[in-house]
Amino acid sequence: MRAWKNTEGMKKITFRVILTAALAVFLGIGAYAGAGEKGHGHWSYEGEAGPNRWGELSPEFAVCSEGKNQSPVDIRGGAKGELKDLEFKYSDNPELDIENNGHTIKVDYREGSKVVVNGAEYGLVQFHFHSPSEHTLDGKYYDMELHLVHKNKEGKLAVVGVFMKKGEANAALDRILDNMPKKAGEKADVKAAFNASTLLPADRSAYYTYPGSLTTPPCTEGVTWLVLKNPIQLSDKQLAAYRKIMDNTNRPLQPLNERRILMKN
C-alpha cells in the first residue's frame, strides 16, 4: 500500500513538472510572437517598467532577472565549431501582415518556410525589428537588428539575428516601412507577395550561435541564437522612418556567464 501511494505521488509530481514546463514554453512563444502579452505584467523599455525591473513585474517574468542564459550578449571571438551552413528555405508570403504591438514592428509569416540548422528544421513564424541592435559585435552596436523567429515541431525556438547598418537603400524593407502602423495595437494587411529571404545578406555563410533566451518578457530560455556576421543595409531615410515610430527598443546586454559562442565562417 505504501509503495502504491509513493507511485501515485510521483505521478502527480511528474505531471506538475511537465505541465509547468509546457506552460513556460507556450507563454514564451506567445509573448515573442506578440500574441500573448495581454493579461501579463505590463513592461517597457524605460521607466518603472523598464528592463532592470522586468523580473519584478510578474511571476511569469522572474527568469528575466534570475536566468543565467539570457540574451542579448556581446559577441566576441567565438570558438570554431562543427557547424553546417544555414539552409534558408523561405517561400513567398501571400500578403504582409504587419503589426505595431507597442514594442516592435512585427510581420507574421504563414506556414511553409523554414531554416535548417545542422539538420534540424525550424518553421518561420514571424520577424520583427529592434532599434538600435540588441546584440553587439566586439562591443559595437548596429543601427538596427532584424530577428527572424522560428519554431520546430517540439515548440523550441531558433532565432536568426541580422545586423542592419546605414548605407544603401533597401528596396525590400520599403515594403514594410511604407505600411507600418503608427499606433500601438494597429495592424496593416498588405495584399502583396513578400519573401523574407530578401531581408537576408547575400553572404550567409558566416554566423555565430549560442544558447540564449527571448529578449523580451517572459525572457524564456532554451532559445538557439544564430546571429549572421554580415549585415544588411538601409538608408538614412529608412532608418529615420522606422525610428520615428519605434525607437530605443533594445534590451541591455546580458552576462555570457558559462556559455560559449561558436562561429561558422
Find where cell 531615410 sits: 237
Pick the catalytic residue from 40, 42, 103, 150.
103
Q: Which residues contact 209 (CB under 8 A, 6 or more apart)?
A: 81, 83, 224, 225, 226, 227, 261, 262, 263, 264
Select from 86, 106, 90 the least CA-distant residue to 98. Answer: 106
- Compute, in degrees rounded to 10, the torsion defined by CA atoms 230, 257, 152, 175: -40
Tell me if residue 130 is catalytic.
Answer: no
Residue by residue, DSSP assigns 102-126 as SS-EEEE--TT-EEEETTEEEEEEE
Closest among 18, 36, 17 to 214, alpha carbons compared = 36
The catalytic site residues sit at 103
